Amino acid sequence: MDVYVGESRRHWCLHRDLLGYHTPFFQGQSHVDGKQKFGKVELLEEDPHAFELLVKWLYQGKIDNVSDLPLEKKWDYAEACQKLYVLCDKVKMPQLKNIAIDQFRKGCYEAGLVPGPEEIKPIYDTTPPRSPIRKLVSQIAARQIMDPDSDSNAGTYKMCFEANADFAVDVIDAIRQGSGTKLFHDPTEETGCFYHDHDHGASQLCKVG
| pLDDT (tens digit per residue) in 75-85 | 999 999 999 99
CB neighbourhood size of 85 (10 A): 27
**55, burial (CB in 10 Å: exposed 0-12, middle 13-18, buried 19+):** middle
Nearest to 77 by CA among 103, 46, 41: 103
Q: What is the pLDDT of residue 195?
A: 80
Handedness of CA 151, 152, 154, 156 (dihedral sign): positive
| pLDDT (tens digit per residue) in 80-106 | 999 999 999 999 999 999 999 999 999
For the CA atoms of 94, 99, 104, 109, the dihedral, rounded to the nearest 10 degrees, stands at 140
pTM, entire model: 0.84
pLDDT band at residue 123 under the 50/70/90 scheme: very high
